[in-house]
Amino acid sequence: MYYADLLKLCGWEKEQIAREKPRLNEAFRILGLGPDEMKIAEDRVKEGYDIDSMGVRKALGVWIGGLVDVVLSKTEGKKIVYYSYPPLGGLGGRISAMGKGEILCVCPEFIIDIVLGAIFDTIDPIIEEGEDRALPPGKALCALNKIRVGAITKGIIPVPDLLLASSYYCDQGGQTDEWLHEVYGVPWVVLDNVMDSVWDEFPNLTPERVSYLAAEIENGWIEAAEILGRKPDEKHWGEYAGLYGRFVAGIAEINSVMKADPPPMSQSNLQLVRFLRNATSYDRFPDAVEAIDTLIPELAQRVKKGTGPLPKGSPRVTSFLIPQRDHIVAHLIEKAGIAIPVTFLSYDAYTGMLDSTYSTIAEKSAKTDLSRGLYHSTSALLYWTKKAIEDFDLDGVLWSQPIHCRPMASSGFVLKKAIEEELGIPVLILEVDWYDNRVFSGESMKTKIETFGYLLALRKSKGGTNKGSK
């Protein structure tokens, strides 16, 4: 089997490979992945990820298995539901739990971006297909939406039976789903929310905002169940919440371990693990939890030994998200002597376990989503970033500013001004595309990153520290 070496590298057992051989053969045929592509992927995995960690390798394996599931879902007789990134209220997981293996509910573009982008580097034709069909280049349109359209129109993934759409955070996701709804006649369930708020209202949440979002989640679940021919039951929420709770608790534990000096692992590896909650199916979720359970003691052992990708005392920063297609960016940051122990999208694991005074599961889910900040406001984004700076004793912020993400297009500049004025620490903004590296080059950022690393190291040597919030 020409793919056996790659799958073993990505945490698959020999027996699992043999058991899934027919599925793997068919999925890789559809994806156009032959021996040459497998060799390229092996090299990219070895170069880009920490393969000394079985937890990281298992996470890579979950992503590959998740793509196989999506590609074969229609021929295997499953009902298919696609939701956009970022997801809302765990609704996708609950719908999957309702299906008990008969419903596949995923964010396909995110899975494709990790597997065909970061691992295989074969994603550009899919993005270009999306541009040709619906989302032209040069219009500041999100690459994730191009991947969704391109993968469907190229026949790589099947047309879904249902779309879970929203546009209150990202208008492009909803518009992409509307295009699929009109072109393919796919039924859709649209969820709404309110993003308007008074500056500095956060972390207080108005009851009206929570109840409104909760009603949208509850109604969306009921409507989706009806379209899929299922009967919604509270136990489905409970089943998913139990497994999801283990996942979030694991991420929070990883965050605690990453406070060590030096941090025991590159953030690019941990990002690979953290994003499993955003895209993979409920059926693969136990494997995702297993990857985390494997990773945590590995990290703890490294902390005990005092080892990590950088020496103790290296400058520490946070970011919103590290570009996941281009391994070069993460490596350039580390080569510049800068450690990233936490990102905004990993720090929010703490908020996922906040106590709730609300009674229904939908209300608790709504409160958790709003508490994370991303669906609340820019001031909430700033609030949690400042908390992370304090909690992880950070020396600066290296903010990845997405040039094709409308919700986040201006946030970095607001954060830079506020953090530099209020906390007195430097902020560097890097203009990137998180999912499409055709439009930027990691190497082109080398001078900026190295200069920023020098500045941070100089400040640290002179005793420059986080002043704390005023």
Q: Which phi-psi region, left, alpha or beta, contains residue 393 (left: φ > 0; alpha: ψ -120 to 50)?
A: left
Residue 227: count other Cβ atoms within 10 Å of its Cβ: 14
204: which residues sit within 8 A by CB, 6+ positions away?
none
Per-residue pLDDT, 231? 87
- What stretches of 103-256 adopt beta strand conformation (E)? 103-106, 162-166, 188-191
Per-residue confidence at 97, pLDDT binned at 50, 70, 90?
confident
What pLDDT does residue 366 have? 87
Closest CA to 51 of 88, 84, 5, 109: 5
Please give the Cα distance from 320 to 316 (Å, whole number): 14
Mind listing the pLDDT tens digit for each residue in 164-192?
Answer: 998 788 888 889 999 999 999 999 999 88
What is the H or E stretch that residue 146 is in?
A: helix 143-153
Ranges 156-160, 330-334, 394-398: which has the least confidence: 330-334
pLDDT of 470 strictly over 50:
no
Q: Nearest 5°: phi and psi at 342? A: -155, 150
| Separation between Cα atoms, residue 380 and residue 140, nearest integer Å | 25
Looking at per-residue confidence, does 426 or 268 come out higher? 426
Q: Which two tokens stand for residue 200?
A: 């500095």
| Per-residue model confidence (pLDDT) at position 407 | 82
Residue 314, judged by CB atoms within 10 A of its CB (0-12, 13-18, 19+), counts as: buried
User: Kindly report the CA angle at 221 between 189 and 82, in degrees rounded to 5?
Assistant: 50
Burial zone of 154 (CB within 10 Å; 0-12 exposed, 13-18 middle, 19+ buried): middle
Between helix 54-72 and helix 21-31 the angle, nearest 10°, is: 70
pLDDT at 93: 79
Q: How far apart are CA 441 and CA 424, in angstroms?
A: 30
Q: What is the pLDDT of residues 271-327, one digit of tens each?
A: 899 888 876 788 888 999 999 999 999 999 999 999 999 999 999 999 988 887 777
Higher-pLDDT residue of 426 and 197 is 426
CB atoms under 10 Å from CB of 391, counted, come to: 17
pLDDT digits (tens, 9 = 90+) for 414-458: 999 999 999 999 999 988 888 888 877 767 788 899 999 999 999
Q: State which H helix or E strand residue 335 sits in.
A: helix 327-335
Residue 256 pLDDT more than 90? yes
Percent of all residues in the chain with a pLDDT value above 90, rounded to a whole number: 60
Q: Is 212 exposed, middle or buried, given 0-12, 13-18 or 19+ CB atoms closer than 10 A?
A: middle
Query: How large is the greatest C-alpha to C-alpha distance in the chain, in angstroms?
Result: 65
Distance from C-alpha of 165 to C-alpha of 365, rounded to nearest angstrom: 17
**Whole-number pLDDT of residue 363:** 87
Q: How confident is the model at residue 129 (pLDDT cuts 50, 70, 90)?
A: very high
**Residues 6+ away with beta carbon under 8 Å from 225:** 95, 98, 231, 232
In this prediction, residues 121-150 reach a mean pLDDT of 94
Cα separation, 21 vs 57, in Å, equals 20
Mean pLDDT of the chain: 89
pLDDT of residue 237: 77
Would you state the pLDDT for residue 469? Answer: 42
Tell me: pLDDT of 254 over 50: yes
Mean pLDDT of the region 358-386: 87
pLDDT of residue 432: 83
Radius of gyration of the chain (CA): 21
Comparison of pLDDT for 348 and 448, the residue scoring more: 448
Q: Does 355 have pLDDT greater than 70?
A: no
48 token code pair: 């880009």
Tell me what the mean pLDDT of segment 217-231 comes to: 91
Cα–Cα distance between 98 and 198 in angstroms, integer? 38
Confidence band of 356 (pLDDT split at 50, 70, 90):
low
pLDDT of residue 434: 81
